[in-house]
Chain A
């Protein structure tokens, strides 16, 4: 709803007048955009005919909110941001001038006190405040916990910055242990701890790590070699179906099929690579998109093999390297071996470490490959294909190895996905998935592994958090389902993050190869995706 006025009127108008005018424009546009879509709703009546339901009140609220938002942004937000920029330039404290005001010791203590009090009262919250207010209280507690953690991180920022990778890997490795222990203390027993950890380890941990792995895999193709691939999900599908079909039909073990699925996906990567070798930029994009759609359509329509849209179920679980299994009925079920209580959480925790290992493998291979001739050739190809060719680099093999390597990691992630779900269907491999993975790569700052991991955590974790916001039902009534808004907010977040940080979270990058000293290059000096 950005409406820019002509400059000569800007000089005359005071900020307040300008804000009022902008707000009126924004309101008019919002009214135009939403009058049919929010003001009216198409519904089926009993005889299955479409009828219109009028919702003018909701329309008025949305328009007024838009106007208010625009007014506040133009009147206060813009001057504040401009001012902030001047302050930052003057003091040289680029990101910190805001943060030091936001993270202060008194606030931190207050947050700790809130958490402590609310945690102490946890059991009796509903009784004390009623279910409505208790929902708010829990939300407040979550906010306070996040604030406290952020403060701690901010306080140790230089230390964290210096040892980011080591700290990150340690934190990820300890994550399930911490979750189980905290919940065990909270719930009073180890069993409760394991049971409660399911959601945290599965929905947040595994889900995010799958996307981290996929994004790191795609990063090889898009971020390093600069080939825009819009059909990456096809390799994910190949890996998933390879494990699903071979695992259910021939009963082969995950540990044999994991490399097999990777090899198969790599083979498909080369197959895709051949026809697109001569294509550049957007032609490449549409052919990869078409390839992804072809794979999905074949999976839907080749019913004799893939069982069509119904998908394949009963995919065998991963075993603990053949030593122990996670099926309760087996004689070597893990709980029987160790003589502990039965719980499905063991499998999830094992899967968590498995995907963490696969992620680290991807990162390790990427980092090592970047230092090898082939990795340097990829980056050279991204920067300038013609220069690359004139220096004698074989662009054909360079492109094909990029596609194959990226696809292989997609295949690994796919077979892991099949093992985790126990069920695959073409529904999971739609274009939207490719778009999400690509968005994570770009939002993370192409080529930067840390940035991509952060982007995956923010985007995927953020949408998962929306499932947890039950307290919103207290605000908007019991019909309100935050999950419905998940993808709407996801799409808007993609736009907002991109506008806010066009180069991604980590916009600058260290050159892999350098002559005398390593100097970080600002992202704006490098170009991407012209292959």
Chain B
């Protein structure tokens, strides 16, 4: 039982990170109907920015309280990563809006390749380890919960609440939902569609940057190719939950996190990704539009 709860906590931590990334996929998909393949690399850019900010803080000040360091890392990462995603949307996706469906997918894949190789060229191909920032571990009745895990889950909850408020209660969120339902009609009603889409990309990137910072804090190492695997997992999570659905993305992220940690704990760590992908395939056989996704209406 203790072992199970332990794995549940590990899965929750992992799932939170996946959920944060998955929201970026699902929001972009919801609003312009494209798979933003570069999103995983946006996450990696976020993690790298956090790393560099961490090193700058270390070089400038003798000692910085961990909370402030993490906050600064997170905020700078959010700003810069948003700038990246905003620029990418302007340069690579906007000119192709209204073109056929695969065109932006190809530019997104191209951007993904370019981003990871850009970081490889400018920052070097090696692993970048950082000293542990938070190392406290609590022991509650034989279950060890590290402070890192608590921070990750708390930050995720706070961000999701903020995000939920933004999408459901503000005029910006209303504009986003309107664009999602019918872009042309929204434009007719005076919504600046371009701006709304840009903000969607910025929001997705900001969440991915937070996920990147948390990833760096949790694992203590980042490398230029780190965008791919978490990116694909988060994308899987978004599809599993029903792409386009925000609660679905979080649910899918948590599910992938749980599947992974449970499978590594009880079966084999080598095949954890195979398990996650296979469960995706099985779920989609029975629920072809994900768990919370709206079934696609076939128009003739």
Contact = CB atoms under 8 A, between A and B. Distances in A.
Interface in B85-138: 87, 90-92, 94-96, 99-103, 105-107, 109-115, 117-124, 126, 128-131
B280 A435 contact: no
B107 A499 contact: yes
Nearest to B41: A491
Nearest to A387: B300
A44 interface: yes
A529 B277 CA distance: 23
B219 interface: no
A2 B89 CA distance: 10
Interface in B56-104: 56, 59, 80, 83-84, 87, 90-92, 94-96, 99-103
Contacts of A285: 35
A228 B281 contact: no
B124 A41 contact: yes
Contact of B109 (A283, A300, A438): A438
Interface in B187-243: 228, 232, 235-236, 239, 243
Interface stretch (A165-173, A185-193, A290-298): A290-298
A492 B110 contact: yes
A495 B110 contact: yes
Interface string A411-447: 0000000000000000000011001001100110010
A436 to B, nearest CB: 9
20 contacts: A37-B119, A41-B124, A42-B123, A50-B130, A52-B56, A228-B102, A276-B284, A282-B243, A283-B288, A283-B290, A285-B35, A290-B278, A290-B280, A301-B271, A435-B109, A493-B110, A498-B103, A502-B100, A529-B100, A529-B101
B138 to A, nearest CB: 29
Contact of B101 (A29, A44, A528): A528
Interface in B257-284: 270-271, 273-274, 277-278, 280-282, 284
B285 A275 contact: yes
A490 B113 contact: yes
Classify the interface of chain B: helix, strand, loop or mixed.
Answer: helix
B271 A297 contact: yes
Contacts of B59: 51-52
A89 interface: no
B143 interface: no
A230 to B, nearest CB: 9
Contacts of B90: 1-3
Interface string A154-191: 00000000000000000000000000000000000000
Interface of B: 29, 35, 48-49, 51-53, 55-56, 59, 80, 83-84, 87, 90-92, 94-96, 99-103, 105-107, 109-115, 117-124, 126, 128-131, 228, 232, 235-236, 239, 243, 270-271, 273-274, 277-278, 280-282, 284-285, 288-290, 296, 298, 300
A44 B124 CA distance: 10
A36 B79 CA distance: 12
Given A485-B121, A495-B114, A283 B87 contact: no
Interface in A78-127: none
A297 B270 CA distance: 8
B126 A32 contact: no
B109 A279 contact: no
A286 B101 contact: no
Given A42-B52, A50-B129, A283-B239, A498 B110 contact: yes
Interface in A1-58: 1-3, 29, 32-33, 36-38, 40-44, 49-52
Given A1-B87, A528-B102, A431 B55 contact: no
B82 to A, nearest CB: 10
A387 B299 CA distance: 11
B280 A42 contact: no
B100 A503 contact: yes
A50 B55 contact: yes
Contact of A36 (B53, B91, B129): B53
A513 interface: no
Contacts of A228: 102
B96 A498 contact: yes
Contact of B113 (A33, A40, A282, A487): A487
Contacts of B298: 386
Interface in A375-420: 386-387
A494 B101 contact: no
A287 interface: yes
B48 A37 contact: yes
Contact of B289 (A43, A283, A294): A283
Contacts of A488: 113-114, 117-118, 120-121
A384 B91 CA distance: 32
A18 to B, nearest CB: 17
A529 B35 CA distance: 13
A495 B105 CA distance: 10
B13 to A, nearest CB: 22
A278 interface: yes
Contacts of A286: 235-236, 239, 280
B83 A283 contact: no
A354 B181 CA distance: 53
Contacts of A38: 122
A40 B76 CA distance: 15
Interface string A234-266: 000000000000000000000000000000000
Given A432-B113, A495-B110, A498-B110, A36 B80 contact: yes
B55 A52 contact: yes
A280 interface: yes
Given A283-B284, A291-B281, A529-B102, A41 B113 contact: no
A41 B121 CA distance: 10
Interface in A465-505: 484-485, 487-488, 490-495, 498-499, 502-503
Given A438-B106, A491-B110, A503-B100, A52 B29 contact: no
A289 interface: yes
A1 B90 CA distance: 7
B235 A492 contact: no
Contact of B117 (A3, A276, A487): A487
A282 B29 contact: yes
A527 interface: yes
Given A1-B87, A37-B118, A290-B281, 4 more contacts: A37-B52, A278-B288, A281-B101, A293-B273
A32 B83 contact: yes
